Amino acid sequence: MSVATGRSRSKSIYDVSAFEGMDEYSALQQYISCYRDSRPNEFANDAQTAKPKWWQFWKSGPTGAEVSQGAIVPPEFLDTDFRGGLSTHEVETRRKRYGPNEITTEKVNMFKQILSYFTGPILYVMEIAAILAAGLEDWIDFGVIVGILLLNAFVGWYQEKQAADVVASLKGDIAMKATVIRDGAEQHILARELVPGDIVVIEEGQTVPGDVRLICSYDKPEDVAIYNQMKAEEKFADESDPDNEKKEDDDEDQVDPDGMPIPQSHSIIACDQSAITGESLAVDKFIGEVAYYTTGCKRGKAYGIVLTSAKHSFVGRTASLVQGAKDQGHFKAIMDHIGTVLLVLVMFFIMAAWIGGFFRHLRIATPHGDSNTLLRYALILLIVGVPVGLPVVTTTTLAVGAAYLAKQKAIVQKLTAIESLAGVDVLCSDKTGTLTANKLSIREPYVAEGQDVDWMMAVAALASSHNLKSLDPIDKLTILTLRRYPKAKEILNMGWRTEKFTPFDPVSKRITAVCYMGGDKYVCAKGAPKAILNLSECDEETARLFREKTAEFARRGFRALGVAYQKNDGPWILLGLLSMFDPPREDTAQTIIEAQALGVPVKMLTGDAIAIAKETCKMLALGTKVYNSHRLIHGGLNGTTQHDLVERADGFAEVFPEHKYQVVEMLQQRGHLTAMTGDGVNDAPSLKKADCGIAVEGSSEAAQAAADIVFLAPGLSTIVLAIKTAREIFQRMKSYVQYRIALCLHLEIYLVTSMIIIRETIRVELIVFIALFADLATVAVAYDNAYSDERPVEWQLPKIWVISVILGVLLALGTWVLRGTLFLPNGGIVQNFGSVQEILFLEVALTENWLIFVTRGGKTWPSFQLVAAIFAVDVIATLFCIFGWMSGEPMVTDPPTAWVQRGDGWTDVVTVVLIWLYSIGVTVIIAVVYVCLNKIKWLDDLGRKDRSRKNPVIENTIAALSKLALEHGVDKHGTERYVLAQRAVEEEDDE
């Protein structure tokens, strides 16, 4: 969508300026009728940032000291005139110094990234093999080995770049926007383009684009004098801690050191700081106070000045705490383990080959060009013994999967998170905005006896703000609900006029509006049920029913609002109750059922009251074993009992961020792979702690920075797709790993035993091409069709090794049987003419290539890409055999081959057909064995971890130690000592 299109759509749906010129109630009617609940797509332009020159390949961002002093902003930078703002030249200067205004993970140095494709145990071995080939002056092998390394690096880079490009394009959709004053005019830009000292406009509905000190109300620019006075007298609060500012706000009578009151007026905006401080109510902000980065403005419109870049804001510093640890991940540990074991096996087989070679009186490197030398055996085994394609194939598989998930609105920020997600067996999920729609809805209201529901809904709408530019969510809901009550809409069309509106007051706990219709005066009110009941003068029976209905709504988890009115200063008349509820998303129940069918139960963690949590669980078919956080932390439970509660619970209510972290940690201690969803700054630690952290749609930048996966689509439905996709990717990698280990063992076993028994090997040039063909063909594994396992998957390494070793031995036996026929006087499989080297080369290439069809399983048909890639490689291998390419001189074996080989290495077509048929037979036998192995119960469970690993001794010991503290004291002899003592109760409470 173009920018223009996005803006026009935004205007048609949201631009309340279309109602300007209308009277109050006409605009209200038009708003109710025309409102559309969708989101605009604005300002998709990319920010312009300084980039290194093309030749500065070692640099990845702003150079030198451009951002070295990003945390220090000189006071003169904050003296910007709020009417004119900064100039374009000054903005560019500051951007070079402070960098973009965004929380970003550390960018990868391009030069280091290129080098990373040539580092690692497996790649080091191939590099040693290239050096060895150069030392032996075997330039063809050297060129092919270097080509394999470059091919692997290019494919890995290209696939990662493709995935990164898709992710980058989608991230533009969630970029934060800002309204800034520059060169004397208002401009709409991306928030990442802001610099310290910029003057921004903050208004209701926007996200604060940085740590911003408020200057004055947008409608009262003359109040800048108050700001300047506070600045001159250094009366600004410390912006580093939101809680400090909140405490100062709580002091109603603030005075300066001289005893004079600080010049302070009414609040100019209100911000939702729940993601930072956990406060559920919006916090009033006054002149000189700081509105914090990523918080939402809920009311008002004001000018402010950006204090620092996002990286050094309060939220940015919080996010940096969870970015420091560079966890290599479970997947890399698995790959390193496989690579290390294969290297050990290579060293073993090289040693066996050299010992056998000494008994065969082989020389180390001479004669020149002879494959039967010890160094050439080492070179051959180095090439075949390590799967050089393993890193690139696994990376490619993950990158292709990440690109696919990105198209499904799930941005994978760390490729290895896909492997973790495939094994997740517990999902801890937020309620609001994830399980529920985060959209309050009014259920069937309670109407007092003798009252009319349409009149009650009209009064509720009258007792609401009619400022369509900054509607409170509850007022907005109340007004839009009139769509369901046409008669109530008609009542509002009877010539009403609002004389005075009083917004919600925390003291009176109600909203009131003084309205006139005809010659009558009406005072309309809505608010807390108790406050509204106290206003009215109803009889005891009506009050009793009202209280009972209020209690019933509370038990069902509904938020209740009372409605009443007064006519011509007469008695207050109680009309009834509005019941509001955040309904579950339409797809949530089905998503939870599908997740549970995949072996991933959902545990709900919410800050709402336990009644609301249980009601939501009932509606979503979740279990109702929901406990409040007090029982988890202060319920007298510890050790094993506490861990059992976390495992058994279906969710926890009234939780704080530390509770979420603790739940995730306890589940991990029990052996569960845990996924965690979150959206706020305080969720960042638990997102980082989880095996797979997921930032849901609409999450803060800090949560996105800490998460492994970011969802752009609302709700949890994407996670089921992500889990299934992750398990498919896992199956591809698992089948490739089994295949590649078997290939390594195949040639190691055959070549070493062949050298020791008959003093023969396959020429190193042909071995190099076998390795090349294997890598070329199996890169297509990333695009293969795969199935999604019905339960969480895991790397059962013992099972993988057992099956791979058996497959490798069977492949080696198949090659030995073919080689054995070639000792027959008539040449065995040879029909007319041929070459032992080429015949062995073709049989090895065919059986190894086709093994991937065995290890991938038969639950899905192979993809066209995989079949085409392997067929193409098989055709090339066949041409090698027919035309004798790189066959070399026939080797003299012990015992010798009886029939005469062609000197040019050619093999007749009939023989080639027999080799194909023989290879098919070998593959069928291996497939039958593979199927039988996977049906063995004990082998299927070999290496499977216990998903609920309980260790009461350790858990109870840790719980007991947590109650102890190290105390410092002095004994009676005056010697200082540190002793273990029971931790003070007050200390526990503080925690």
The DSSP output letter for 465 is: -
What CATH number does residue 662 fall under? 3.40.50.1000
Can you tell me the distance from the alpha carbon of 329 to that of 951, in angstroms, rounded to the nearest whole number? 24
- Residue 693 within a domain: yes
The mean pLDDT of the chain is 80
**559 plus 660 within the same structural domain:** no
Q: Which of 211, 430, 775, 874 is catalytic?
A: 430
Can you tell me the distance from the alpha carbon of 802 to that of 943, in angstroms, rounded to the nearest whole number? 11
Confidence of residue 195 (pLDDT cuts 50, 70, 90): very high
pLDDT at residue 147 in the model: 82
pLDDT at residue 215 in the model: 92
pLDDT beyond 50 at 304: yes
Which among 66-80, 162-176, 456-470 has the top mean pLDDT?
Answer: 456-470
Task: Enter the tokens of residue 772.
Answer: 């090349």
What CATH number does residue 573 fall under? 3.40.1110.10
Task: Enter the tokens of residue 6.
Answer: 């996005």
Confidence of residue 682 (pLDDT cuts 50, 70, 90): low
Can you tell me the distance from the alpha carbon of 349 to that of 759, in angstroms, rounded to the nearest whole number? 15
- Residue 899 within a domain: yes
Cα dihedral angle (182, 188, 189, 194), rounded to 10 degrees?
Answer: 40
**425 plus 466 within the same structural domain:** no
**629 plus 657 within the same structural domain:** yes
Confidence of residue 65 (pLDDT cuts 50, 70, 90): very low
pLDDT at residue 648 in the model: 87
- Residue 121 within a domain: yes
pLDDT tens per residue, range 625-679: 888 877 776 665 666 788 888 888 998 887 877 788 889 888 988 888 899 988 7
- Residue 511 within a domain: yes
pLDDT tens per residue, range 686-697: 888 888 999 888
pLDDT tens per residue, range 578-613: 988 877 888 888 889 999 999 999 999 887 777 778
pLDDT beyond 90 at 406: no
**804 plus 836 within the same structural domain:** yes
Point out the domain boundary residue: 675, 691, 712. 712
pLDDT at residue 400 in the model: 81
Least confident of 90-99, 564-573, 608-617, 952-961: 952-961
**614 plus 627 within the same structural domain:** yes
What CATH number does residue 765 fall under? 1.20.1110.10
- Residue 379 within a domain: yes
Q: Please, which residues have CB within 8 angstroms of residue 862's CB and are 6 or more apart in sequence?
A: 784, 785, 853, 856
pLDDT at residue 320 in the model: 62
Point out the domain boundary residue: 581, 606, 641. 581
pLDDT beyond 90 at 385: no
**915 plus 805 within the same structural domain:** yes
**607 plus 549 within the same structural domain:** no
pLDDT at residue 961 in the model: 60
pLDDT at residue 922 in the model: 97
Confidence of residue 44 (pLDDT cuts 50, 70, 90): very low
pLDDT at residue 361 in the model: 79
Can you tell me the distance from the alpha carbon of 724 to that of 787, in angstroms, rounded to the nearest whole number? 8
pLDDT at residue 985 in the model: 44
pLDDT beyond 90 at 834: yes
- Residue 47 within a domain: no
Neighbouring CB atoms inside 10 A of 864's CB total 12
pLDDT beyond 80 at 461: yes
Backbone angles phi, psi at 189, to 5 degrees: -135, 170
- Residue 201 within a domain: no
**600 plus 550 within the same structural domain:** no
Can you tell me the distance from the alpha carbon of 65 to that of 321, in angstroms, rounded to the nearest whole number? 23
In the annotation, is 243 catalytic? no
pLDDT beyond 80 at 802: yes
State the Cα angle at 970 between 968 and 971, rounded to 5°.
125
Confidence of residue 472 (pLDDT cuts 50, 70, 90): confident
pLDDT at residue 503 in the model: 77
**494 plus 568 within the same structural domain:** yes
pLDDT beyond 50 at 408: yes
pLDDT tens per residue, range 432-446: 777 887 777 788 899
Q: Domain limits at 517?
A: 441-581
**808 plus 761 within the same structural domain:** yes
Who wins on pLDDT, 370 or 419?
419
Q: What's the structural domain count of the chain? A: 4
- Residue 574 within a domain: yes
pLDDT tens per residue, range 141-154: 788 778 878 877 78
**780 plus 921 within the same structural domain:** yes
pLDDT at residue 169 in the model: 64
**The pTM is what?**
0.72
**414 plus 428 within the same structural domain:** yes
End-to-end CA distance of the chain: 50
Least confident of 29-43, 307-321, 894-908: 29-43
